[in-house]
Amino acid sequence: MPYWLMALLATLGTWAVTALGAAVVLFFRNPKERTLRVMLGFAAGVMLAASVWSLLEPAMAQATQLLHMPGWPLAVSGCLCGVVFLWAADRLIAHFKPDGSARSARMLVFSITLHNIPEGLAVGVAFGMLAVNPTRETFLSACSVAVGIAVQNFPEGAAVSLPLQKAGFSRKRSFFWGQLSGVVEPIAGVFGALMAMVATYSLPFLLSFAAGAMLLVSLHELIPACHTAGEEERSYLPTAGMLLGFLLMMVLENL
Half-sphere exposure of 80 (CA within 13 A, CB side): 6
Angstrom CA distances, 250 to 48, 50, 54, 246, 255, stand at: 10, 8, 10, 6, 9
Mean pLDDT for all residues in the chain: 81
Distance CA 85, CA 79 (A): 10
Residue range 166-181: mean pLDDT, rounded: 84
Please write the tens of the pLDDT for every residue from 50-101: 788 877 888 898 888 877 888 889 899 999 998 898 888 777 766 665 555 5
Distance CA 129, CA 121 (A): 12
CB atoms within 10 A of CB 237: 14
- Supply the pTM of this predicted model: 0.69
Question: DSSP H helical segments within 54-183, as ranges?
Answer: 57-67, 71-94, 101-128, 136-166, 171-180
Q: Residues, the chain, total?
A: 255
pLDDT > 90: what percent of the chain? 15
Q: Do the beta carbons of residue 235 and residue 34 sit within 8 Å?
A: yes
- Would you call 120 helix, strand, or coil by DSSP? helix
For the chain, first and last CA: distance in Å?
A: 23
| Position 87, amino acid | W
Q: Do the beta carbons of residue 142 and residue 125 sit within 8 Å?
A: no
